[in-house]
Amino acid sequence: MEETLTHPVAKAAIDALQAGDSEAWKELFDPDAVLFDDGHPRNLERFSDEAVGHERFASIDAVRDGGLKIEGEFQSDVWGRFRTYFYFTISMKPRLQNLKSARHSLLARAISSSKTLTTMHI
């Protein structure tokens, strides 16, 4: 059975990313949210300003945990097209607490090096 994007915060985040709406995207995150890009900490505010509107999923090929784990083809105006994943962690508020994003080839390394990965994602 194919899973769909049913988690309301996850769906809102992906909708904002796909629409290029950085303000809506940023409002979904806790003020102390953390972004890991290719396994490295990155400034979420700067990423949101630079990437949202210029990067999006060209296709979403796998959805798990209601959309908290998403894998697919990603299109970047700067980096081109590549397979990637987004893993989101939800806080108790509920708002986005963490986002792990990486090219698909870095998936195993990012998971093994992360202590904060849970089944809660955007």
Distance from C-alpha of 122 to C-alpha of 114, rounded to nearest angstrom:
17
Distance from C-alpha of 34 to C-alpha of 98, rounded to nearest angstrom:
5
Q: What is the pLDDT of residues 42-78, one digit of tens each?
A: 898 998 999 999 999 999 999 999 999 999 999 999 8
pLDDT at residue 9 greater than cutoff 90: yes
In words, the CATH class of domain 8-113 is: alpha beta
Higher pLDDT, 78 or 15: 15
pTM confidence score: 0.80
Instruction: Tell me the pLDDT band of 87, cut-offs 50, 70 and 90.
Output: very high
* Token couple for 118: 């849970």
Closest to 117 (Cα-Cα) out of 45, 64, 74:
64
- Residues 41/32, Cβ–Cβ less than 8 Å: no
